[in-house]
Amino acid sequence: MERLLIAAAIVVVVGVVALVARTRRRPDAPTQRRYSVPEQLDRADFPRPDAQWLVTVFSSATCVACAGVIERARVLETAEVAVCAIDFDEHRSLHEKYGIDAVPTLVVCDADGVTQASFLGPVNATDMWAAVAEAREPGSSPEPGLGQR
């Protein structure tokens, strides 16, 4: 009988130790990839380098959301604002040069090519247009932080 009690006590102790060890060992949190947006574009790489503003949509023909972003961005085209879509298959070198690793990536640059606003992924028309308006005229948007990093 005594041996049975000792064996049961050992089983209980081993079980408690195993349970404690299991609860202390937590799996690592999943790694979250950060996609990058260029801080500056060489305006000579894009159409209308003399325009005061450049809205560039880095895209891909296989990207479902890209077409909508391009369509909404095209509305911004004016004498002061150049808009262009840079497809991965057609302009792979520009995607590589600027480190574009996710599409759609929308970048709003000033005359010097400095990024003033950007969006990764799908963006609605209101947010896009407000970010461009705010870049062009600070204080003009009710949400001045849109598109800011």
Q: What is the DSSP string of 37-89?
A: --SB--GGGSS-TTSSEEEEEEE-TT-HHHHHHHHHHHTT--SSEEEEEEETT
Q: Rounded to whole angstroms, what are the CA distances from 52 to 41, 65, 71?
A: 13, 27, 21
58: domain range? 43-136
Question: What pTM was computed for the model?
Answer: 0.76
The Cα 134–Cα 142 span in angstroms is 9
pLDDT, tens digit, 9 for 90 and up, residues 73-116:
999 999 999 999 999 999 999 999 999 999 999 999 999 999 99
- Give the residue ranges of the chain where pLDDT is below 50: none
Q: What are phi and psi of 16, to 5 degrees?
A: -65, -45
Within a domain: 110: yes
Within a domain: 13: no
Domain count, the chain: 1
Within a domain: 98: yes
